[in-house]
Structure 1
Amino acid sequence: MIVGVDEAGKGSVLGPMVIAAVGCNEMDDLKSLGVADSKKLSKESRERLNGLIREKYNFSIVVRTALEIDTLRQTMTMNEIVARAHAEALDGLSCRLAYLDACDVNEKRYGETVKSFAKSECSIIARHKADALFPVVSAASIIAKVERDHLILDLAAEYGEIGSGYPSDPVTITFLENYIKTHDKPPQIARLSWETVKQMMDRRDQRSLLDF
């Protein structure tokens, strides 16, 4: 089996990171479905393809919550966190060859890093923009993106409108600023180790000193 691995939410300041692996016998099997980089597909297309992929192919999903990411970042880099999660998703499927979206400027080094963490014995090829190059990675990107979108909707049902969770999203930033102003601390779904949150907390502390 050939496996593709990709993640969604690596740079998000709110919510989880989701890593997905999808397996197929032949790359063309998935290409015929019309898979593509999830970021280039409409929400409706992603949902439809997500259902087809889950129905027809083996897949595995790994979720890292904001709290887990903050805890892991105390002892390792974000790239290592992603690499370990890629290896865990890969281990959820038996394969002879795996394609990964490289999360390191050095593609070969990233592939070797993931291989060192994986329990399964298989050849690993890591490439930048692998989700646009290999249909099996495109499929994994769709599974990861849709799964994360659903988790974000669950969080929004609990916290109210939180946007996409990314620092570039004004809705997410407004939510964070208002939450910190109201509760005097970030929400549990925020990644406290992110510079975005640290800067907001610094501004809060400065305002508190001025008030004093």
Structure 2
Amino acid sequence: MICGVDEAGKGSVIGPMVVAAVGCRAVEDLAALPIRDSKALRPKQREELYGVIFRDFAIAIVTIDAAGIDDARSRMSMNACVAELHAEALMGLRPEYAYVDACDVNAERYGRTVASHLDFPCAVVAEHRADARYKIVGAASVVAKVTRDRAIRELEQQYGKIGSGYPSDPTTIGFLRDYIREYGNPPPCARRSWKTVANLYQTTMQDFP
């Protein structure tokens, strides 16, 4: 089996990070699918591809929530956390070959790190922008992105509009600021170890004692 692995939500301040692995017998199995980096697809396209991928290919998904990320970051770097989760997703499929989207500036080192967490032989190839280079990684990107988007929609049912969850989103920042002002603490869905959240807490509590 050949696998591709990618994650969604690594840099978000709200919600989970989702890692997905997609496996196939041969790369040609994906030739007919219009798969590329999930960020380059429209939401409807991602949902349609998600259904096809789940129907026709092996899938493994690992999700870590905000509290889990905060706990992991108290013990390791974010890149080390992602490497462990990439390996965990691969453990669900146990392929002979794997292509992963590198989260380290040194792609080869990242590949070695992922491989070191596996308990089975697997040739791990890590590259930057692997989701745009390899369809199998692009497929994993689609699964991870759709799974995370659904999780964000579930959070919106609980909290109201929270935006995309990323620090560049004014809706997300506005939600965090309003929640902190009302409740005196960041919401449980926020990653408290992120500087964005810590800074918002400090400035908001100063403005609204």
Q: Is TM (by shorter chain) over 0.5?
A: yes
How far off is 1:120 after superposition? 2.4
How far off is 1:126 after superposition? 0.1
Q: Are 1:23 and 2:3 counterparts?
A: no
Q: Which runs of 4+ in 1 moved over 4 A?
A: none
Q: Are 1:207 and 2:207 counterparts?
A: yes
Query: In 1, Cα distance between the equivalents of 2:128 and 2:137?
Result: 11
Map of 1:146-165 to 2, 5 A cutoff? 146-165=146-165
Q: Secondary structure at the match of 1:164?
A: coil
With the length of structure 1 as denominator, give the TM-score of the two structures.
0.96
Query: In 1, Cα distance between the equivalents of 2:23 and 2:177?
Result: 41
Structure 2 unaligned blocks of 5 or more: none
Equivalent residue, structure 1, for 2:50: 50
Letter in 2 for 1:28: E
How far off is 1:33 after superposition? 1.2
Equivalent residue, structure 2, for 1:81: 81
How far off is 1:188 after superposition? 0.1
Per-residue CA deviation, residues 65-97 of structure 1 (Å, 9 max, x unaligned), is 000000111110000000000000000002110
Q: Secondary structure at the match of 2:70?
A: helix
RMSD: 0.9
Native 8 Å contact 2:184 2:205 kept in 1: no
Equivalent residue, structure 2, for 1:181: 181
User: Alignment length, in residue pairs?
Assistant: 209
Equivalent residue, structure 2, for 1:167: 167
How far off is 1:205 after superposition? 4.0
Q: Secondary structure at the match of 1:33?
A: coil
Native 8 Å contact 2:16 2:65 kept in 1: yes
How far off is 1:201 after superposition? 1.4
